[in-house]
Amino acid sequence: MANLDKNIEEEILAIVEKYQKEDTKLLNYLITDDEITFFSPLANGKSITAEDLQKVADILKGSFIGMEIVNQEYRFKFKCGL
């Protein structure tokens, strides 16, 4: 399983952590081929804004594909150009 560079993880976490509860500053994701999916439990807080999704896409040098709710969590999918 591949992981993002720690600096990229920190940049993305700086954007998405404001949507999580104070005690849960985590970045959960899965990379498959040229796509990356980020997971955030519904109980953590609120959904991320379109502007912040675009910021994450820019960091990944890719594009936002879509969002869905599965098994009590948000799933945000991006095409990754890194």
pLDDT per residue as tens, the chain (82 positions) = 478 889 999 999 999 888 777 666 778 899 988 899 998 877 766 778 899 999 999 999 999 999 998 988 889 999 987 6
47 inside domain: yes
- Any bridge partners for residue 17, and if so which? none
In a domain, 20, yes or no: yes
Closest CA to 40 of 64, 16, 65: 16
Let me know: does 54 contact 64? Beta carbons within 8 Å.
yes
**Helix, strand and coil percent figures for the chain, each rounded to 5:** 35, 35, 35
Q: Model's pTM, two decimal places? A: 0.84
In a domain, 1, yes or no: no
- Per the structure, the complete domain to which residue 43 belongs is given by 6-79
Tally the domains of the chain.
1
- CA 62/CA 80 separation, integer angstroms: 5
